[in-house]
């Protein structure tokens, strides 16, 4: 709030910006523009994700080094800025970034928060006066640095956190696919009995889902490697020295170990955020795949008496406050809730991504929040699903075999001997009388009439052969 410069409230100091004076907490490293944003946006109590702050600091450090080489700032100032920005990027001052994520749509408030903290640290520790706009922000605008930072943070999250977690789950599912390769069970389509499959085949399908999910995430992250940096306010590059963007991005690559490139077209990269929408879409596909897997696991593990009970899911905690001994598939449920959140986040990202008005998207902070939250949630829960659930799953082999043998769909291989309509009649009679397919075929005289031999009948009703019809005998 505005205050008399000679008489701030206890515990506060006076800072000023282009709009005048404002009180700032005495021990805060930030200054006037941050203070105004804190006052203006008391919305959620949730600040901009720290990975974005850290990425902004990496950009500031790289920019300071390039600006020194270009003669825009002195080498002494650049060294002080680089040291301060590096400390911020390392998370040493995470408590100095309080601005709510629901703020100005360009992220200007957070960009200035980072500029002010770095300027304060550089001035305090470097022994040289550093201005947040003139020096830390030299050659930059919030309109190119903030979306660049979001893309840097999103790329790192996708490539270094989520993709490895998905590979971890893929490997876990693959081990189970191999372990359950010979466990024959009833297949199900429309939740109704279908021809036999193996439990290993089902887990192999899950394994492939997650392998493809990882590939999709990495492919989408290629788009977020393209940075708007250098476009400054509107995409034209005004106030940035020639070669500034390319040089800063090269330094940024050195600092992060990830290859980034300058935007092919700065108007596209600032006016739209299609790259982030695409990445969020890949996260949604991961969530959809995990939803299918976890629902299948819950169905197969349902019971222990009145469900399918084909698999045993690890018991982790009591499942009821009133029913003794009840245990629930809690990791699957936690995963499903994450998936619901990620799908919801993608809806917000879709709406925010459409908010590009002329030369700038103006929902950048909420894009950052939802994309990064989705990556973080999925990375955490996929490892949890692998380690606390999938790795410990056991098969009830006898029950699976019993379901396979009892399924009326095992009659399907008889079509080539008896015809579809006759086999349909046999199946209906089997279901109505609860007698075996084999007994009804014999009773109807098909073997006696020579339409099928007993050997052919037994081979046709072999559940293992039905599950793997093309396997050499």
274: exposed, middle or buried (Cβ count in 10 Å: 0-12, 13-18, 19+):
middle
Please tell me the distance from the alpha carbon of residue 256 to that of residue 275, in angstroms, as a whole number: 20
Residues annotated within the binding site are 106-108, 131-134, 141-143, 189, 321, 326-328
Chunk the chain into consecutive blocks of 10 residues (it has 473) and report each block's average pLDDT, rounded to whole numbers: 65 93 96 97 98 98 98 97 98 98 98 98 96 98 98 98 98 98 98 97 98 98 98 97 96 96 97 98 98 98 97 96 96 98 98 96 98 98 98 98 96 97 97 96 97 96 96 83
* Ranges assigned E (strand) in 284-374: 311-312, 356-357, 360-361
pLDDT tens readout for residues 372-423: 999 999 999 999 999 999 999 999 999 999 999 999 999 999 999 999 999 9
- Is 320 among the catalytic positions? yes
Distances from the Cα of 133 to the Cαs of 18, 235, 258, 262, 454, in angstroms?
Answer: 11, 19, 27, 23, 89
The active-site residue out of 6, 190, 306, 470 is: 190
The 8-class DSSP code of residue 429 comes to: H
How many C-beta atoms lie closer than 10 Å to residue 305's C-beta?
6
341-370 pLDDT tens trace: 999 999 999 999 999 999 999 999 999 999
CA proximity to 302, closest of 191, 204, 161, 459: 191
Residues placed in the known binding site for substrate: 106-108, 131-134, 141-143, 189, 321, 326-328
Domains along the chain with CATH numbers: 12-138 (1.10.275.10), 144-182+201-225+265-396 (1.20.200.10), 407-467 (1.10.40.30)
Concatenated DSSP letters for 160-210? IIIHHHHHHHHHHHHHHHHHTTT-EEEEEETTEEEEEEEHHHHHHHHHHHH
Question: Is 190 known to be catalytic?
Answer: yes
Alpha carbon distance 385, 381 (integer Å): 6
Task: Let me know: does 190 contact 409? Beta carbons within 8 Å.
Answer: no
pLDDT at 409: 96
Query: Rounded to two decimals, what is the model's pTM?
Result: 0.95
């Amino acid at each position: 709030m505005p205050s008399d410069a000679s008489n701030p409230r206890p515990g506060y100091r006076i800072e000023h910006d282009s709009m005048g004076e404002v009180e700032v907490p005495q021990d805060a490293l930030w200054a006037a523009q941050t203070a105004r944003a804190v006052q203006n946006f008391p919305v959620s109590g949730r600040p901009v994700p720290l990975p974005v702050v850290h990425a902004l600091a990496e950009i500031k450090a790289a920019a300071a080094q390039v600006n020194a080489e270009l003669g825009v700032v002195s080498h002494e100032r650049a060294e002080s800025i680089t040291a301060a920005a590096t400390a911020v990027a390392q998370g040493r001052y995470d408590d100095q970034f309080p601005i709510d994520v629901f703020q100005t749509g360009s992220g200007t408030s957070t960009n200035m928060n980072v500029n002010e903290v770095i300027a304060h640290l550089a001035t305090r520790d470097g022994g040289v006066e550093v201005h947040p706009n003139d020096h830390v922000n030299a050659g930059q605008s919030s309109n190119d640095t903030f979306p660049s930072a979001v893309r840097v943070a999103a790329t790192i999250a996708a490539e270094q956190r989520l993709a490895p977690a998905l590979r971890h789950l893929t490997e876990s599912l693959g081990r189970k696919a191999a372990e359950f390769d010979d466990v024959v069970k009833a297949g199900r389509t429309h939740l109704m009995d279908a021809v036999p499959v193996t439990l290993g085949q089902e887990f192999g399908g899950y394994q492939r889902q997650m392998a493809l999910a990882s590939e999709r995430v990495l492919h989408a992250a290629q788009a977020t490697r393209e940075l708007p940096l250098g476009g400054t306010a509107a995409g034209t590059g005004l106030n940035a020295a020639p070669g500034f963007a390319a040089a800063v991005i090269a330094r940024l690559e050195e600092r992060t170990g990830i290859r980034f490139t300058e935007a092919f077209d700065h108007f596209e990269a600032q006016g739209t955020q299609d790259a982030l929408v695409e990445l969020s879409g890949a996260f949604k596909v991961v969530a959809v795949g995990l939803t299918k897997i976890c629902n299948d696991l819950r169905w197969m593990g349902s019971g222990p008496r009145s469900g399918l009970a084909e698999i045993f899911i690890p018991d982790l905690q009591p499942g009821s406050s009133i029913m003794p001994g009840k245990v629930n598939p809690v990791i699957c449920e936690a995963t499903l809730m994450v998936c619901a959140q990620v799908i919801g986040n993608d809806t917000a990202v879709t709406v925010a991504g459409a908010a590009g008005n002329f030369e700038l998207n103006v929902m950048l902070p909420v894009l950052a929040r939802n994309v990064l939250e989705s990556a973080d949630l999925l990375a955490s829960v996929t490892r949890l699903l692998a380690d606390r659930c999938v790795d410990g799953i056991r098969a009830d082999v006898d029950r699976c075999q019993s379901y396979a043998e009892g399924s009326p769909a095992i009659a399907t291989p008889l079509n080539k001997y008896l015809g579809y309509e006759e086999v349909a009649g046999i199946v209906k009679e089997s279901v109505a009388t609860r007698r075996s397919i084999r007994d009804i075929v014999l009773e109807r005289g098909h073997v006696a009439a020579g339409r099928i031999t007993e050997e052919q009948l037994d081979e046709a009703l072999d559940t293992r052969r039905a599950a793997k019809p093309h396997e050499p005998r």
